[in-house]
């Protein structure tokens, strides 16, 4: 992995994993440190643990922003021995607890062509389900520093969490906000995603540093622009469905490019028919 943490605000550090450009955020308090996301494999997580210890020796609490492999498959390395708390939305925790082999199989199939080495690592990685669940929101005290975990609603998945560090004016958005590429719609709720981003924007100020799931940290203007594109996409999906147009019609007109928009349109039609 060969990446280290960079401090982006007071005692808030971000590590950018170079292969998939996944962000891991480390928030250091007086008594504990909070690690947001754990990467894709035991090998990556072992390097991540060393990078954490280069910054702080405080005991860790973990948060998974959602249940996709690149954000949580490192849990066992970082929180298994000795056991440490792992927080996630209740549906993400259920997926990791009850369907680990499905999640592993889907991740392997996604990676095996373009990233075969990571796919092989992932196939042998033990999975650890979260130990603590969040329904709407939970506040953690790291010692002199309070952090909010909030589920802003369905968006990238049904189980997204954002992490707000108010004293540093930092918001960790997970894959609800993307910088290095278009949003990923495969498990998404594109008609509800704009509302989820609007919810997380209520936690920001004009100076908030927003950490996307992938890519460089962004400002609030970037998030507002992505929110506008998501709202336009949702409107196009609704209009096309009302007019009995095929999803391909949405893809021809929508933001984010034809392929992501086509996936979003199919997912949006499932929402509108009550089958998503």
Tens of pLDDT, residue by residue over 46-74, are 999 999 999 999 999 999 999 999 999 99
Could you identify the residue written with the tokens 């754990």?
A: 38
- Please give the pLDDT value at position 276: 75
Residue 41's CATH number: 3.60.15.10
Instruction: Tell me if 100 is assigned to some domain.
Output: yes
Asked if 130 and 96 touch (Cβ cutoff 8 Å), the reply is yes
Instruction: Tell me if 260 is assigned to some domain.
Output: no
Distance CA 81, CA 152 (A): 31
Q: For residue 225, what is the enclosing H or E element?
A: helix 220-242
Instruction: Tell me if 236 is assigned to some domain.
Output: no
Instruction: Tell me if 123 is assigned to some domain.
Output: yes
| DSSP structural state of residue 30 | S
Confidence of residue 2 (pLDDT cuts 50, 70, 90): low
- Please give the pLDDT value at position 222: 98
Number of folded domains in the chain? 1
Instruction: Tell me if 231 is assigned to some domain.
Output: no
17-26, 108-117, 243-252: segment of lowest average pLDDT: 243-252
Instruction: Tell me if 238 is assigned to some domain.
Output: no
Region 249-260: mean pLDDT is 91
Distance CA 14, CA 36 (A): 9
| DSSP structural state of residue 90 | H
Region 19-28: mean pLDDT is 98
* Residues spanned by the domain of 55: 5-219
- Please give the pLDDT value at position 1: 63
Distance CA 237, CA 223 (A): 21
Instruction: Tell me if 38 is assigned to some domain.
Output: yes
Q: What percent of the chain has pLDDT over 70?
A: 99
CA 28 to chain centre: 20
- Please give the pLDDT value at position 99: 96
Q: What is the pTM of this model?
A: 0.96
Supply the DSSP string of 159-214, one letter for each residue. S--EEEETTTTEEEEETTS-SSSPPP-TT--TTTHHHHHHHHHTT--TT-EEEESB
Instruction: Tell me if 276 is assigned to some domain.
Output: no
CA 178 to chain centre: 9
Within a 10 A sphere around the Cβ of 237, how many other Cβ atoms? 26
Tens of pLDDT, residue by residue over 130-180, are 999 999 999 999 999 999 999 999 999 999 999 999 999 999 999 999 999
The answer on pLDDT for 252 being more than 90 is no
């Amino acid at each position: 992995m060969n990446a280290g943490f960079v401090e982006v605000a007071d005692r808030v550090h971000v590590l950018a994993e170079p292969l998939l450009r996944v962000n891991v955020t480390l928030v250091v308090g007086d008594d504990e440190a909070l690690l947001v996301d754990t990467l894709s494999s035991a090998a990556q997580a072992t390097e991540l643990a060393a990078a954490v210890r280069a910054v702080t020796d405080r005991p860790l609490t973990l948060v998974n922003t959602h249940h996709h492999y690149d954000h949580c498959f490192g849990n066992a390395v970082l929180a298994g021995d000795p056991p440490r708390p792992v927080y996630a939305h209740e549906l993400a925790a259920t997926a990791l607890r009850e369907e680990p082999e499905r999640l592993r199989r889907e991740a392997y199939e996604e990676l095996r062509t373009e990233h075969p080495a990571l796919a092989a690592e992932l196939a042998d990685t033990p999975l650890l389900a979260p130990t603590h669940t969040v329904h709407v929101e939970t506040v953690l005290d790291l010692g002199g520093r309070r952090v909010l975990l909030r589920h802003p609603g369905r968006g990238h998945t049904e189980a997204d969490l954002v992490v707000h560090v108010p004293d540093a004016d930092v918001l960790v958005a997970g894959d609800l906000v993307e910088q290095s590429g278009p949003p990923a719609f495969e498990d998404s709720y594109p008609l509800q995603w704009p509302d989820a981003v609007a919810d997380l924007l209520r936690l920001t100020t004009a100076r908030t540093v927003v950490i996307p799931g992938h890519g460089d940290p962004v400002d609030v203007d970037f998030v507002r622009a992505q929110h506008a594109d998501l709202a336009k996409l949702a409107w196009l999906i609704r209009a096309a469905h009302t007019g009995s147009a095929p999803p391909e019609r949405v893809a021809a007109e929508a933001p984010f490019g034809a392929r992501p928009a086509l996936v979003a349109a199919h997912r949006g039609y499932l929402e509108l028919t009550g089958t998503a």
